[in-house]
Amino acid sequence: MSQKAVDRARTAFKRFTEGDFTSVTDLPDEFELVLAPEMPDAGTYRGGAARDWMAAWVNSFDRLIQEPVEFIDAGDQQVLVEFIQRGWTAGSDVPVETRTWSLSTVKDGDFIRTQLFQNRSDALEAAGLSE
């Protein structure tokens, strides 16, 4: 079952690598986004609020891409993805870059929960995995 989650994440990140984030608007109302405490706007967002937060993040850049580094089958319909976010702000040719980890749960082909982390150890711990 988790392989389906990995495949779904690969499909999503293929689009994100191309700068296509239109799928954010298709997230279900049950979707939950959890931002790590050290992240800007930390907290939990659900449904429309989660979609709005994600759209605002994408729109805060002239151009944004998210390049996957590693996909890890975390079991129980979960996938852990390490990725690099690279964005260009208005009028800048210099990218802002950050390494991020997401732990996502997929149900019936839809993402229903994503937790974002700024470090690998916290992400692995949340997934019940170790180095």
CATH code for the structural domain at 2-127: 3.10.450.50
pLDDT digits (tens, 9 = 90+) for 38-82: 998 999 999 999 999 999 999 999 999 999 999 999 999 999 999
pLDDT tens digits, one per residue of 7-19? 999 999 999 999 9
d(CA 76, CA 7): 14
CA 24 to CA 111: how far, in whole Å? Answer: 10
**pLDDT interval class at 1 (50, 70, 90):** very low
Structure confidence at residue 90 as a pLDDT band (50, 70, 90) = confident
Domain boundaries of the chain, sorted by first residue: 2-127
For the cut 90, the answer to whether the pLDDT of residue 92 exceeds it is no
Partners of 110 in the β-ladder: 107
Token digits for 36? 């790590």
pTM exceeds 0.85 for this model: yes
| Average pLDDT along the chain | 94
58, β-bridge pairs: none
Give the DSSP per-residue string, the chain: -HHHHHHHHHHHHHHHHTT--GGGGG--TT-EEEE-TTSTT-EEEETHHHHHHHHHHHHTSSEEEEEEEEEEEEETTEEEEEEEEEEE-TT-SSPEEEEEEEEEEEETTEEEEEEEESSHHHHHHHHT---
Q: Give the pLDDT confidence score for residue 27 in this predicted structure.
A: 95
